[in-house]
């Protein structure tokens, strides 16, 4: 969400304020009631699993007709959501990206319908005790649940590695690196000039570097593994340019220029799909990855391990959740809530998660036979199951601010400056910290960062 999009959100909020008064819950009519469900576009198998879930809902609820639509992905999906809300044509149920939800929550207006207003018994009906506390908190605002957690993303928490290249380099394919020092050591061994022209043809390590803001999603893991933060807890101070944050950036710079383990001429890898395709080329030994790599197959022997430790005793990995929400402007809240209940039920949720290849929010899903079969067929997923079950790990979520997309752009440009040798890591992050401070002040002045007046 760039500066123009933030200003557009101001207009969105202004228009939505006029629509707030129509947000009453209405009973399901005797005639069949149509509801629309939006979900981001994904791979064909991903979308088919959601279509099948909607069909099962319709069979179980003849009084409701649910229709699923896929308006786009990434920034296009976010744009469509804002335009629909502004026009009063938002879907009845939405898989909402966290950054859009943060912006709506911080607008000060009641745009999303809190779950406790859909049903007084929501905690029991949705079986929230089956979900991790961090997941519930991540989708809450001032203690009120704003969206029902749908799936968890453990972004960059894994390390994919090419076992064939390990063998070729004389490394044990059953012993991936456990520390960041070992990762660098292994990557140097894996980096090879196979044709003798003076330039490596096989590289040790891939970084999610490029020109898309998404690379900051992966970079946040580098920060948190070192104990660094972008802000302090109350967002009154920017911390990214402190020593540990600078060390995180310097590691990326060193991968290119000091260790020489990362291809400086690689294509843009700042989107997960591109990163996986690059790993799938068979020309790189190791790459950060997330649980969704379980959907992929490659023409070589490969595996995934938990990302190596940076500091002994500090085990932090990031998580993110996408939620199902309905809006205050929705006139069919009862039907929308019934749909959410169905999709999130212990019987239905495992089927959907298997189809989309994402990490489930329900603990009970992990013991369901069909999920166990899925994990046996996709053993990569077990790595992420083990991580979540390990009490030594802390799961860290992204900062819940309405300016996070702007901050991602600022940090991306700072990383580019350092990697391209146009500024030191310290100078690049000092400049970024100042820009982030200015963005925070401007957002509050323009009304993009308000305290809610409607929270009870």
Please state the rounded mean pLDDT for residues 80-100.
Answer: 94
* DSSP element (H, E) containing 322: strand 316-325
- Alpha carbon distance, N-terminus to C-terminus of the chain: 29
Higher local confidence (pLDDT), 37 or 447: 37
Task: Kindly state whether residues 182 and 257 are assigned to the same domain.
Answer: yes
Residue 110 is predicted with a pLDDT of: 93
Asked whether residue 219 is assigned to any structural domain, the reply reads yes
φ, ψ (nearest 5 deg) of residue 158: -115, 165
pLDDT in tens, 181-194: 999 999 999 999 99
DSSP 47-100: HHHHHHHHHHHHHH-TTEEEEEE---SHHHHHHHHHHHHHHT---SEEEE-HHH
Question: Do residues 152 and 182 lie in contact, with contact meaning Cβ atoms separated by under 8 Å?
Answer: no
Please state the rounded mean pLDDT for residues 268-280.
Answer: 94
Residue 99 reports pLDDT greater than 90: no
Residue 319 is predicted with a pLDDT of: 87
Residue 264 reports pLDDT greater than 80: yes
| Single pTM value for the model | 0.86
Share of the chain above pLDDT 70, in %: 93
Residue 20 is predicted with a pLDDT of: 41
Please state the rounded mean pLDDT for residues 96-100.
Answer: 90
Asked whether residue 454 is assigned to any structural domain, the reply reads no
Task: Kindly state whether residues 199 and 258 are assigned to the same domain.
Answer: yes
Instruction: Mention every residue, 6+ apart, whose C-beta is less than 8 A from residue 228.
Output: 239, 240, 242, 244, 245, 247, 248
Task: Kindly state whether residues 63 and 169 are assigned to the same domain.
Answer: no
Task: Kindly state whether residues 125 and 194 are assigned to the same domain.
Answer: no
Task: Kindly state whether residues 129 and 11 are assigned to the same domain.
Answer: yes
Task: Kindly state whether residues 309 and 332 are assigned to the same domain.
Answer: no
Task: Kindly state whether residues 20 and 109 are assigned to the same domain.
Answer: yes
Return d(Cα 170, Cα 174) in angstroms, integer. 12
DSSP 176-221: ---BHHHHHHHHHHH-B-SSSSSS-SBEEE----SSSTTHHHHHHH
Residue 400 is predicted with a pLDDT of: 86
Residue 413 reports pLDDT greater than 70: yes
Please state the rounded mean pLDDT for residues 150-175.
Answer: 95
Task: Kindly state whether residues 354 and 241 are assigned to the same domain.
Answer: no
Residue 4 is predicted with a pLDDT of: 52
Cα-Cα-Cα-Cα torsion 236, 242, 247, 249, nearest 10 degrees, comes to 50
Total of domains in the chain: 2
CATH code at position 345: 3.40.190.10
Residue 25 is predicted with a pLDDT of: 34
* Strand, helix or coil for residue 311: strand
Asked whether residue 446 is assigned to any structural domain, the reply reads no
Task: Kindly state whether residues 22 and 102 are assigned to the same domain.
Answer: yes
Higher local confidence (pLDDT), 214 or 382: 382
Confidence of residue 453 (pLDDT cuts 50, 70, 90): confident
Task: Kindly state whether residues 113 and 214 are assigned to the same domain.
Answer: no
Asked whether residue 393 is assigned to any structural domain, the reply reads no
**Rounded to an integer, what is the distance from CA 31 to the centroid of its chain?**
39
Asked whether residue 396 is assigned to any structural domain, the reply reads no
Q: What is the mean pLDDT of the chain?
A: 90
Share of the chain above pLDDT 90, in %: 72
pLDDT in tens, 219-231: 999 999 999 999 9
pLDDT in tens, 17-57: 444 443 333 344 446 899 999 999 887 888 999 999 999 99
Confidence of residue 456 (pLDDT cuts 50, 70, 90): low
Task: Kindly state whether residues 253 and 352 are assigned to the same domain.
Answer: no
Residue 21 is predicted with a pLDDT of: 40
Asked whether residue 374 is assigned to any structural domain, the reply reads yes
Residue 8 is predicted with a pLDDT of: 53
Domain ranges, residue 99? 3-152+322-378
Asked whether residue 395 is assigned to any structural domain, the reply reads no
Task: Kindly state whether residues 163 and 128 are assigned to the same domain.
Answer: no
Asked whether residue 223 is assigned to any structural domain, the reply reads yes
């Amino acid at each position: 969400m760039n500066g123009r999009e933030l200003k557009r959100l101001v207009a969105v909020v202004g228009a939505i304020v006029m629509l707030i008064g129509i947000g009453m819950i209405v009973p399901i009519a005797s005639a069949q009631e149509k509801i629309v469900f939006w979900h981001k576009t994904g791979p064909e198998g991903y979308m088919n699993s959601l279509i099948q879930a909607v069909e099962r809902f319709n069979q179980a609820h003849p009084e409701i007709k649910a229709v699923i639509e896929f308006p786009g992905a990434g920034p296009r999906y976010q744009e469509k959501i804002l335009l629909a809300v502004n026009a009063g044509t938002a879907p009845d149920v939405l898989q909402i990206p966290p950054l859009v939800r943060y912006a709506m929550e911080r607008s000060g207006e009641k745009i999303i319908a809190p779950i406790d207003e859909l049903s007084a018994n929501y905690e029991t009906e949705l079986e929230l005790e089956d979900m991790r506390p961090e997941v519930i908190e991540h989708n809450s605002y001032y203690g009120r649940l704003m969206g029902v957690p749908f799936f968890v993303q453990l972004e960059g928490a894994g390390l994919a590695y090419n076992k064939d290249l390990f063998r070729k380099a004389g490394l044990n394919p059953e012993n991936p690196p456990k520390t960041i020092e070992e990762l660098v050591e292994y990557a140097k061994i894996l980096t090879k000039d196979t044709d003798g022209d003076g330039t490596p043809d096989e590289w040790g390590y891939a970084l999610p570097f490029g020109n898309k803001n998404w690379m900051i999603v992966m970079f946040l893991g580098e920060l948190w593994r070192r104990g660094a933060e972008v802000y302090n807890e109350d967002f009154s101070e920017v911390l990214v340019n402190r020593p540990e944050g600078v060390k995180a950036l310097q590691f990326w710079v060193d991968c290119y220029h000091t260790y020489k383990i990362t291809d400086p001429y690689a294509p843009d890898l700042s989107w997960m799909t591109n990163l996986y395709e690059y790993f799938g080329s068979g020309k790189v030994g190791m790459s950060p990855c997330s649980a969704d790599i379980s959907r992929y197959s490659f023409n070589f022997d490969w595996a995934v391990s938990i990302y190596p430790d940076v500091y002994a005793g500090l085990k932090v990995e990031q998580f993110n959740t996408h939620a199902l929400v309905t809006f205050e402007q929705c006139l069919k809240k009862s039907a929308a809530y019934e749909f959410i209940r169905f999709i999130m039920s212990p019987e239905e949720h495992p089927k959907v998660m298997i189809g989309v290849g994402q990490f489930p929010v329900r603990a009970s899903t992990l013991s369901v036979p069909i999920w166990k079969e899925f994990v046996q067929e996709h053993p990569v997923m077990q790595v992420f199951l083990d991580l979540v079950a390990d009490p030594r790990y802390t799961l860290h979520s992204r900062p819940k601010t309405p300016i996070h997309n702007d901050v991602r752009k600022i940090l991306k440009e700072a990383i580019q400056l350092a990697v391209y040798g146009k500024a030191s890591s310290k100078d690049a992050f000092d400049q970024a910290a100042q820009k982030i401070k200015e963005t925070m002040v401007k957002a509050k002045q323009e009304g993009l960062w308000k305290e809610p007046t409607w929270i009870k």
